[in-house]
Structure 1
Amino acid sequence: MLTIERALVDQIVAHARADHPDEACGVIAGPAGSDRPTRFVAMINAERSPTFYRFDSLEQLKVWREMDDRDEEPVVIYHSHTATEAYPSRTDISYAAEPNAHYVLVSTRDDDETEFRSYSIVDGEVTEEEVKIVEAYA
């Protein structure tokens, strides 16, 4: 289960809406081993595409080094789908390289409603998980 603060959900959704019609992407870092997302990091979709996302390799290296320096890890890796449901594509699954991360997908295909879902992706196996949105961590 992913437990996440509402403010972080709002930031993910705002980023997805702002980048629409292109896919948005980023991470939420948290203390290593905590499974608690705390620090929102919006990233650039190097593809600038409505159907595909890829982190810019230099930006990703910088962000991952920063997480290492802060004793953090990517707790959430997120991106948006602009015309389809919030479910990982074959490409998304093949790029899932963080077995402990929650892979969040946001669908911006509907102007009035945002679909927000989370998955565990390990060795190509996709498992949807419950999302518990809290006002603040206890």
Structure 2
Amino acid sequence: MLTIRRDLVDAIVAHARKDHPDEACGVIAGPAGSDRPERFIPMLNAARSPTFYEFDSMDLLQLYREMDDRDEEPVVIYHSHTATEAYPSRTDISYASEPHAHYVLVSTRDEHEEEFRSFRIVDGEVIEEEVKVVD
């Protein structure tokens, strides 16, 4: 189960809506080993695409160095889908390389409805998990 603060959910959704019609992406870091998402880090979708996201390799390298310095890890890796449901695509599954991360997807296909889901993706297997939003 992903337990996440309301302000972080709101920040992810706002980022996804702001970048629409392109996919948005980012990370929420937390203390290493804690499974506690704390620090919201919106990233630039280097692909600038409505159907695909890609972290810029230099931005990602800088982020991992920063997390190492702060004794953090990526607790949540998020991105948006602009025209489809919030479910990992084959590409999303093939790129999932953090077995301990929660992969959050937000769909912006309906501007009036929030579709926010979380998954564990390990060795190509996708398991949806409950999301508990706390204040």
TM-score by length of 2: 1.00
Mapped partners of 2:65, 2:79: distance in 1: 21
| Partner residue, 1:85 | 85
Within 5 Å, which residues of 2 pair with 1:1-138? 1-135=1-135
Cα distance, 1:114 vs. partner?
1.4
Structure 2 stretches lacking a partner, 5+ long: none
Structure 1 residue ranges, 4+ long, deviating more than 2 angstroms after superposition: none
Residue deviations 1:52-71 (CA, integer Å, cap 9, x gap): 00000000000111000000
Task: Give identity over the alignment, percent.
Answer: 81
Amino acid at match of 2:33: G
Mapped partners of 2:10, 2:101: distance in 1: 19
Instruction: Report how many aligned residue pairs link the two structures.
Output: 135
Note the aligned Cα RMSD (angstroms): 0.3
Structure 1 stretches lacking a partner, 5+ long: none
Amino acid at match of 2:107: S
Mapped partners of 1:51, 1:64: distance in 2: 25
SS at match of 2:52: coil
Residue deviations 1:84-135 (CA, integer Å, cap 9, x gap): 0000000000000000000000000001001000000000000000000000
